[in-house]
Amino acid sequence: QQQVKQSPQSLIVQKGGIPIINCAYENTAFDYFPWYQQFPGKGPALLIAIRPDVSEKKEGRFTISFNKSAKQFSLHIMDSQPGDSATYFCAASRQGAQKLVFGQGTRLTINP
Amino acid sequence: GAVVSQHPSWVICKSGTSVKIECRSLDFQATTMFWYRQFPKQSLMLMATSNEGSKATYEQGVEKDKFLINHASLTLSTLTVTSAHPEDSSFYICSASFVQGLYEQYFGPGTRLTVT
């Protein structure tokens, strides 16, 4: 019940395309859903996060879509660039616990 | 703002020795710090959570006597890997959060540990 399942494991998209990464969770107590971007040999960096009171959040080229009833959320990257090539992790946590439960990660490659 | 640093960025040590990794919040006071371990091409695995001045809370399966965590101040936490073995070789990442930042965790750049 504490798991967050992320798919796909890897994704290759042409420059300008819109990669979509999906995550699903079971624990309905989760109320914070961040996405992290990690480059090789570096720590993760927070990209964007959403709480379940909204169905969508956009920051720059990154958009989170959230479906509370389906217990799913996804990351969309608009106008993707080769510099977006990285590993992306979704995560979830519940109020007060602070502990993040991470998805398995998606290795994204944007071809020029 | 909300910058977290780690030192060293990489370290090589001999089997049986101990190594200490520092995690510092540079521009905020961290009420909680977290230590993660990441194997190549895998996700982050939470090892322990520490609050300033309190004993760390370790995740199931993490040996507290092997991975000593000290959170002595609101800006510094240390992870000491004692009697290191080659299987302890990994990428160790810390993160920190603060009350005003709600749930957000700010991650350090990671420390690559190689035990020979």
Three state DSSP letters for chain B: CCCEEEECCEEEECCCCCEEEEEEECCCCCCEEEEEEECCCCCEEEEEEEECCCCCEECCCCCCCCEEEEEEECCEEEEEECCCCHHHCEEEEEEEECHHHCCCCEECCCEEEEEC
- Optimal mutation site among A37, A42, A47, interface B, most CBs of chain B within 10 A: A42
Residue range A3-27: mean pLDDT, rounded = 97
Residue A72 confidence (pLDDT) above 90: yes
Across the interface, which of B42, B97, B108 has its CB nearest the CB of A43?
B108
Across the interface, which of B44, B102, B110 has its CB nearest the CB of A42?
B110
So what's the pLDDT on residue A84?
98
Quick one: pLDDT band at residue A98, thresholds 50, 70, 90? confident
Residue A3 confidence (pLDDT) above 70: yes
Tell me which chain A residues have a C-beta less than 8 angstroms from the C-beta of B42: 104-105
CB contact under 8 Å between B105 and A100, yes or no, is: yes
So what's the pLDDT on residue B72?
82
Residue range A21-35: mean pLDDT, rounded = 94
Q: Which residue has the higher pLDDT, B89 or A2?
A: B89
Instruction: Give whole-number Cα distances, A71 to A33, A68, A90, B116, in Å.
Output: 11, 5, 13, 44
- Optimal mutation site among B11, B23, B44, B107, interface A, most CBs of chain A within 10 A: B44
B111 in reach of chain A (CB within 8 A): no
CB contact under 8 Å between B43 and A99, yes or no, is: no
Residue range A47-73: mean pLDDT, rounded = 95
Per-residue pLDDT of chain B (116 residues; tens, 9 = 90+): 789 999 999 999 999 999 999 999 999 888 899 999 999 999 999 999 998 878 899 999 999 999 999 988 889 999 999 999 999 999 999 999 887 666 688 999 999 999 99
CA distance between the termini of chain A: 39
CB contact under 8 Å between B43 and A42, yes or no, is: no
Residue range A15-28: mean pLDDT, rounded = 96
CB contact under 8 Å between B43 and A107, yes or no, is: no
- Optimal mutation site among A7, A33, A98, interface B, most CBs of chain B within 10 A: A98
CB contact under 8 Å between A36 and B107, yes or no, is: yes
